[in-house]
Structure 1
Amino acid sequence: MTVSSLPIDQQVVLVTGGARGLGAHLTRAFLDQGARVVVNYYQSREAAEALAKEAPQRALAIQADVREAEAVKALFAQAHAHFSAPITTVVNNALPDFTFNGDARPDADALDWARLNQQIEGVNRGALNTIQAALAGMREQEFGRIINVGTNLFQNPVVPYHDYTAGKAALLSLTRTLSHDLGPDNITVNMISGGLLRTTDASSATPEAVFDLIAQNTPLRRVTTPAEFADAALFFASPWARAVTGQNLIVDGGLVKG
């Protein structure tokens, strides 16, 4: 019989790029709910291992470049051996090197394919590799949750980060098509789209005036925090969202509608 949902404390969760910034908040959110968590990192070994030590029985730091399919497969095998269970829940958070600084972004004249391809490789190839590596275990359990991290810049391109948004837009398309493909396997696929978060490593270069302007134009009159964003990931992983798939939930304090 298909298990339509599992409590979060029975899940094994992979957070890609889970050692720093938003990823660390996502990791801690799932650990706080009793989940076992694989803290994936690329270069941030010390941060990942320190985070794993906060819950040594339930957290495991594993290095892997998610752009490399074989490295991702090895990560899944190591996690399965460590926890004696397959990964049930994948949070695709890993982001190629990127800084949210509108003054430094390439405009239309300066944008080149290398920048676009960097984001597509990191965001889309990375997500595809983790999802494909997860499928066998999810199908075996007849349960899976895939949560992709997006952006509200689709709806409100106030700062045209062309390369970053292109990668995330493709990830939204993949979210929706995969939800249809994997629905019969009881695997849901959803996206969470935040705005500028206060504050992550990527947004640390953002001028204070920009944060203030966003707060003034947001119904909640403040900038969303990474911890608040992580709450939405818990919702999509939880039994409360067992009938929700193919959705893009905007979590930005009401700044962008729909």
Structure 2
Amino acid sequence: MTSPTPAARPRTTPSLDDQLVLVTGGARGLGAAISEAFLGAGAKVVVNYHRSREAAEQLAARFEDRALPVCADVRDPEQVRDLVAQAESHFGTPITTLVNNALMDFSFNGDARPKADELTAEQLAAQFVGSVQAPVDLIQAVLPSMREARGGRVVNIGTNLFQYPVVPYHDYTAAKAALLSITRTFADDLGPDGINVNMVSGGLLRTTDASAATPDAVFDAIAAGTPLRRVTTPAELADTVLFLASPWARGVTGQNLIVDGGLVKG
């Protein structure tokens, strides 16, 4: 006779203005838009950065006591643990939402990408460390606090390119596809702890540092293929991240919400 499945623990979903949010790569581009969206909603935000100290400090200075810039290379597990400890010690409260946004050393430049006959193991490994291992390390670092709080939110930033490879960025796309798998398996594993794990996948965003190398003709072609006839902005994608961290998304987990103006269906 099999044992009954244990009941899920009661979950708590604080309102956005009661949350402590960690945004990796939160000082520039999409990360800055996400950080600003949470800060605008009243949350406390840890703005993680690697090389963008000035941008992180300028963003934090606009929000006085609710934003903390912290330098850490999220590819280093020890720095990840220190990042979480510093954030929770500074604010005196556990991290309630983790946004895995950091994108390491990548530019959306179709002319410079490795072609199928040029792709190397080193290029694949570099993207897997930044887009798969780093998010796993970060989730593991915040898990004790989220479990103690009986709930939490993880939002991973993905891409629509593995469904619509308008430009075949092989290494980046493969790593993000793996992150979607991690999103869904972790959602199942952590659901009984009251932790929701989701992904938000944008298309090409207009404009971030990573997409600055993209020619206008590519932006225009993508815009023409969407029902909205425009390219999604970082602020629009940030809105969806806020939704997934909010009490209104308490029943949403293991999902990949595509925010690309309707370019990809389903």
Q: Given the two structures, how large is their TM-score scaled by the length of structure 1?
A: 0.99
Q: For 1:129 and 1:10, how far apart are their aligned partners in 2?
A: 25
**Alignment match, 1:188:** 196
- 1:29–1:230 contact (8 Å) kept in structure 2: yes
Instruction: Give 1:22's aligned residue.
Output: 30
Query: Which residue is 2:172 aligned to?
Result: 164
User: Which residue in the other structure is 2:129 paired with?
Assistant: 121
What is the Cα deviation at residue 178 of structure 1?
A: 0.1
SS of the residue corresponding to residue 103 of structure 1 reads: coil
Query: How far, CA to CA, are the matches of 1:252 and 1:182 in structure 2?
Result: 28
1:240 to 248, 251, 255: 248
C-alpha contact (below 8 Å) 2:12/2:149 kept by paired residues: no
Instruction: Structure 1: state its 5+ residue gaps.
Output: none
Provide the rounded CA distance (Å) in 2 between the counterparts of 1:99 and 1:68: 21
- Report if aligned partners of 1:7, 1:238 keep a CA contact under 8 Å in 2: yes
Match of residue 108 from structure 1: 116
Query: Aligned-residue CA RMSD in angstroms?
Result: 0.8
Query: Corresponding residue for 2:6?
Result: none
- Equivalent of 2:148 in 140, 149, 173: 140
Give the Å deviation of 1:2.
2.7
Query: What is the distance in 2 between the residues matched to 1:55 and 1:4?
Result: 26
Q: Which runs of at least 4 in structure 1 moved beyond 6 Å after TM superposition?
A: none
Structure 2: 5+ residue runs without aligned partners? 1-8
Find the residue that maps to 1:160 and give its secondary structure: coil
Q: In the aligned structure 1, how far is the partner of 2:169 from the partner of 2:188? A: 29
Q: CA deviation at 1:4?
A: 3.4
Superposed CA deviations along residues 145-179 of structure 1, whole A, max 9, x for unmatched, are 00000000111011110000011011000000000
Q: Aligned with 1:228: secondary structure?
A: helix
1:62 corresponds to: 70
Q: Distance in 2 between matches of 1:48 and 1:224?
A: 24
Report if the CA contact (8 A) 1:76-1:134 is conserved. Answer: yes
Q: How does 1:174-253 map to 2 (within 5 A)?
A: 174-253=182-261
Q: Provide the rounded CA distance (Å) in 1 between the counterparts of 2:172 and 2:162.
A: 10
Alpha-carbon distance between aligned partners in 1 of 2:162 and 2:169, rounded to the nearest angstrom: 10
Q: 1:174-194 deviations in whole A, cap 9, x for unaligned?
A: 000000000000000000000
Q: Are the counterparts in 2 of residues 143 and 186 from structure 1 also a CA contact under 8 Å?
A: yes
Residue 81 of structure 1: how far off its partner (Å): 1.2
Q: Distance in 2 between matches of 1:120 and 1:196?
A: 20
Alignment partners' CA distance in 1, 2:61 and 2:52: 14
Deviation at 1:3, TM superposition (A): 3.7
Asked if the contact 1:13–1:91 (Cα under 8 Å) also holds between the matched residues in 2, the reply is yes
Look up the SS of the partner of 1:39 in the other structure.
strand
Question: Partner residue of 2:4?
Answer: none
State the distance in 2 between where 1:3 and 1:83 align: 22
What is the one-letter code of the residue matched to 1:47? A
TM-score, with normalisation over the residues of structure 2?
A: 0.96
1:62 offset after TM fit, Å?
0.4
